[in-house]
Amino acid sequence: MSGLHHVGIAVDDLDAAIANYEALFGASVEHRETVPDQGVEAALLRVGGSRVELLRPLEPDTPVGRFLAKRGPGLHHVAFEVADVAAELARLRADGVQLIDEEPRQGLFGLQVGFVHPEATGGVLAEFVGR
Amino acid sequence: MSGLHHVGIAVDDLDAAIANYEALFGASVEHRETVPDQGVEAALLRVGGSRVELLRPLEPDTPVGRFLAKRGPGLHHVAFEVADVAAELARLRADGVQLIDEEPRQGLFGLQVGFVHPEATGGVLAEFVGR
């Protein structure tokens, strides 16, 4: 486990959120991408040596759209960088930990990712991101 | 802005949450402290090169207790490490940004901190932590 890869934040208006994070925290956009399959437009921001991922739903009936409807904008998930996503998922699966992804899949920005279910983490949607 | 200092997570049972984060993410406890003034028992965990702060309310009628009652356990705040908390708060105050702390105060583990209001950040409780 290398540490935090990024913190994911659900937003209503991506342009406004980017401008706000630039002004508040000196953020700068590293990547920006629309992924229809996942129902999001996303921006990965650098804040100092760290990353913040802003997620805007393309439609209300998407995972991030349902999150916004239920909770409003705010902290959505936390991602940990690991050497081998498949190995981390296999380790947790062997321990009986509830996963969203049994196997790695391609996430935003071409990253290999796998999500752990919030039921397993005390209410935190947690993601592994491959190096 | 150096980057993320920690991600703060509200929990019901601190011992259980620590054990769970050790098992899931290879976390280890760096500090643990009860702060009656702030109504929390907190543990700062290392996860690789990053930190996760677990917060258990001492009473229901505390900021973290009210958060748990309203939202349940989960992601609570995000903290950015900065060289000078007072300067960051002054910069945002001059821009008319809504703050929780107008001046730095002593936070958990002896750190100098200042909080930005979630109204200013798109629903994210954000903290500056001094180096």
**Segment A41-88, tens digit of pLDDT:** 999 999 999 999 999 999 999 999 999 999 999 999 999 999 999 999
- The two structure tokens encoding residue B26: 């290879």
Question: Tokens 């406890």 appear where?
Answer: B29
Distance from CA of B1 to the nearest CA of A (A): 5
Distance from CA of B39 to the nearest CA of A (A): 20
Q: How far apart are CA B12 and CA B9, in angstroms?
A: 10
Distance from CA of B103 to the nearest CA of A (A): 16
Instruction: Determine the pLDDT at residue A37.
Output: 87
Q: How far apart are CA A86 and CA A125, in angstroms?
A: 18
The domain tally of chain B equals 1
Q: How far apart are CA B39 and CA B58, in angstroms?
A: 5
Q: What is the CATH number of the domain that holds B45?
A: 3.10.180.10
By Cβ distance, the residue of B50, B81, B97 closest to A4 is: B50
- Name the phi and psi angles at A16, rounded to 5: -65, -40
Calculate the average pLDDT of chain A. Answer: 96
Residue-wise pLDDT tens digits, A82-119:
999 999 999 999 999 999 999 999 998 889 999 999 99
HSE value, Cβ hemisphere, 13 Å, CA-based, for A48 = 14
Calculate the average pLDDT of chain B. Answer: 96
Rounded to a whole number of angstroms, the CA Rg of chain A reads 15
Q: ipTM, 2 decimals?
A: 0.95
- What residues make up the domain containing B82? 3-130
Question: What is the reported pTM?
Answer: 0.96
* Residues A4, B2: C-beta atoms closer than 8 Å: no
Report H helices in chain A. 14-25, 63-71, 85-94, 118-121
Which residues of A have a CB under 8 Å from any CB of B? Answer: 1-4, 7, 9, 11-12, 17, 20, 23-26, 47-50, 52, 71-78, 80-81, 92, 95, 97, 116, 118, 120-124, 126
